[in-house]
Chains A and B, each alone.
Chain A
Amino acid sequence: MQEIRVIFSKTGSARYISHLDINRAMSRALCRAKIPLWFTEGFNPHPYMSFSLPLPLGIESECETMDIRIENEMPLCEIKEKLNAVLPVGLEVRDVISSFDSSDKIAYADYIFYFEFSDNALACEKIKDVLALNEIIAEKSGKKGKRKIIKEVNVKDYIKSFEVSETENGVIIKARICAGVSKNLNPVLFCESILKYAFLDYEKKSIKRICLLKSDCSVYK
């Protein structure tokens, strides 16, 4: 048995596939690709699969990971080729590796937020002003025991670095925000609270996760 990590991208309409559904889509793809999967040995055998840091619905990504176990040795490039031949549009394997970091090492994630506003120049200034504030308070739903509660968080505490720029048709925010088990910020909450503070309504929006990083800001792999 060999444990390997499949690094894949999720773009276009595939961003509407939820985390749970990705799990199923991938397990079917592995079957079609005839990858010799290792099955759990319990009462109800199923292939072992593990994903790091779930991606919220509607967000694209260049750096999703899926860890699987295979029974027989198989060249990693062959796994990549076979999977790419059967994956639905929008899902693509970028790399297959055999030695990798454990998912609790994730500390940050880089995102690119792209917006189109009716007045991009003005919006860009407003966003810069908001991000210069010391406090950007947002409401985050959480749990206390079994009860659902609303917590207030300062989004600013979760931002490691950012960069705002105006492009030909829109505005781009590049941000490195906290991610992982100990301190995590949902990118949707990030952009919603900024837009709320700036009183902005967009015409088009897209969010993409570019890469995951460890606490020393080296790439999580």
Chain B
Amino acid sequence: MMKKEIEKILDYVQKPGRYTGGELNSVIKNADEVSLRYAFCFPDIYEIGMSHLGMKILYSLVNERADSWCERVFAPDVDMEEQMRKNNIPLFALESSDYIKDFDMIGFTLQYELSYTNMLNMLDLAGVELLSENRKSLTPIVCVGGPCACNPEPIADFVDIVFLGEGEESTNEVIDLLIECKKNNSSKEEFLLKASKITGVYVPSFYSDSYNDDGTLKELNPIKDVEKTVKKAIVSDMNKAFYPKKFVVPFINIVHDRAVEEIFRGCIRGCRFCQAGFIYRPIREKNTKTINEQSKALIESTGYDELSLCSLSTSDHSDVNNMLTTLIDWTRKDKINLSLPSLRVDNFSDELVDKLNKVRRSGLTFAPEAGTQRLRDVINKNVTEEEVLRTCKKAFDNGWTSVKLYFMMGLPTETMEDIEGIANLAMKVVHTFYQNENRQKGTGVTVSISVASFIPKPFTPFQWESEDTMESLKAKQKHLLECVKTKKIKVSYHETPTSMLEGVLARGDRRLSKVLLRAHQLGCKFDSWDDKFNFDAWMQAFNECNIDPEFYTKRTRSFDEVLPWDHLDFGVSRKFLESENIKAHSNETTPHCRIKCSGCGANKLNGGHCDARN
């Protein structure tokens, strides 16, 4: 039931549907009958947070338990926050509209670094102490998870526990423990000590940091009886792992408003820039039967007319043709649109095109990532120009008249020649269209190239690299525009100051917590929104804290340097990442995991098993 004071301010805000709850399949329980209340927070607005699959999984997982109630919380938009602050309404959860400061666990999922200030703003709005050390009582426990949690050091001062890796099992173990500790009136420290024994649980306050004279990290050592390195958690069998039978179906339009079926975790490719490709290893697949059953259940319970497959690379599923045939079979009959994201140019087979022709036609997007073969070898993209052009030809044969190509800018060893390569490749795609006899007549071609700025991320072979400067990126963007001579090619790219900040936070250490706190005090929030990002306030925060952001971005680290995430074990060994880095600099590629196992070490997390090698 909505509180009267909340109801009143809804008259004054845009899209009140973001704050009312009551959506289909949202879970309502009796607060007096549960032992633990969990506020699952996504540090961005409703439309973005509600599109996130991880939240749907963990929401259902916790709510399967009779003793716990998990509710959703999103960052209120600026107008709502203003109303809440004006009327002294603290941050509330959508299901009960109860204030989250009274919950037992407040969990944030960190999908991108630029959402850190939103997390602080939400805690502040909730009336919860920001610094972990100032929260003396057992509850609320503030925890984080998600991909950015693989280097949680910049937010170490704010959080009590960090979930490393996949939360399906560790979340339940932590909940069991917290319920027990509440019963026994344990102290927060007792709880944290016991929690740190659970696989995938890292307690930052049990480690202390020290630095060398040059500012680099000296060591991060345990100061309590805890392991020196903390291992991430994984689920070993995706066919047996928990997957929701229901999604909360929003009333308002959200970014990804559809049923989503995860088809595998991990990736066989090993593209050297890609964090997801390393931190989700080893690859674990769902079989075709499970995928069909789970998708059908979701469509039945939600009434969605669209189903999307989710993985890092759809066409890399080992049973892709059979899987798609079975899915297309029933989705067509039930008038469900099937969408297939993340296709690769090197296995865009005739069978796959045939399948794509049967589902509703959407745009085609491929990611060559770099403009020249040399640079594609550096990043281990393992895609050739012939493959790109052959795939585009196949698409044009089948009636497509536009393709979208993704590239990156600012990659290690990149020169202006590589930038020109982007324009040249796009031009060759245009030529491919006009040289094609089978093209759709009477219409032109559109090649959209979208260029993202590369940011070196932890747990990738490029984690030691320097980040391209704002000036250099601007010059490259300008050069690219000059190289594009036709209106058939459309170029889009991203603003650079946010990339710089993302780079700092991605590979930052614990000293950044005070910068974040200061930036929050200066009003920074929604940093990922270009119109709300306040670069000057951030620079002021760095200045006042005497921290040079360029220390984190401009420096090439040596292999000897202790990295702020070295005490966290994501399965892939440091030795492997080092050898990949060396190979990158000699333009050497590494074959993907199905061709040959390159011994990254991630299979030891799963008892030596990896689905790439069966």
Contact = CB atoms under 8 A, between A and B. Distances in A.
A204 B2 contact: no
B305 interface: yes
Interface stretch (A27-35, A126-134, A149-157, A178-186): A27-35
Interface stretch (B234-242, B247-255, B524-532): B247-255
Contacts of B24: 25, 28-29, 88
A64 to B, nearest CB: 15
B300 A25 contact: no
Contact of B303 (A12, A31, A57): A31
B277 interface: no
A190 interface: no
A87 to B, nearest CB: 8
Interface stretch (A14-22, A74-82, A159-167, A211-219): A14-22
Contacts of B252: 17-18, 21
A54 interface: no
Contacts of A14: 22
Interface of A is mostly: helix
A13, A17, A90, A204 interface centre (most CB from chain B within 10 Å): A13
Contacts of A22: 251
Contacts of A13: 2, 20-22
B248 to A, nearest CB: 10
A16 B17 contact: yes
B22 A88 contact: yes
A22 B249 CA distance: 12
Given A17-B251, A21-B253, A28 B304 contact: yes
B497 interface: no
B23 interface: yes
A196 interface: no
Contacts of A16: 10, 16-17, 20, 251
Given A58-B10, A88-B24, A204-B4, A17 B17 contact: yes
Contact of B11 (A18, A29, A39, A58): A58
Nearest to B336: A31
Interface string A76-120: 000000000010111000000000000000000000000000000
A71 B448 CA distance: 42
B302 A21 contact: no
A86 B25 CA distance: 10
B8 interface: yes
Interface in A1-15: 12-14
B301 interface: yes
Interface residues of B, number: 24
A39 B303 contact: no
Given A17-B17, A17-B251, A28 B22 contact: no
A45 interface: yes
A24 to B, nearest CB: 8
B303 A28 contact: yes
Interface in B1-27: 2, 4, 7-8, 10-11, 16-17, 20-24
B17 A28 contact: no
A29 B301 CA distance: 10
B11 A205 contact: yes
B302 A28 contact: yes
B16 A32 contact: no
Given A28-B304, A32-B300, A205-B11, A21 B22 contact: no
A-B complex: 3 closest residue pairs judged by Cβ atoms: A28-B303, A31-B303, A13-B22
Interface of A: 12-14, 16-18, 20-22, 24-25, 27-32, 39, 45, 57-58, 86, 88-90, 203-205
21 contacts: A13-B20, A13-B21, A13-B22, A16-B20, A17-B251, A18-B17, A18-B252, A21-B17, A21-B252, A24-B253, A25-B249, A28-B302, A29-B303, A31-B303, A31-B305, A32-B302, A39-B335, A86-B303, A88-B249, A89-B22, A205-B11
Given A25-B249, A28-B24, 4 more contacts: A14-B22, A16-B17, A58-B16, A89-B22
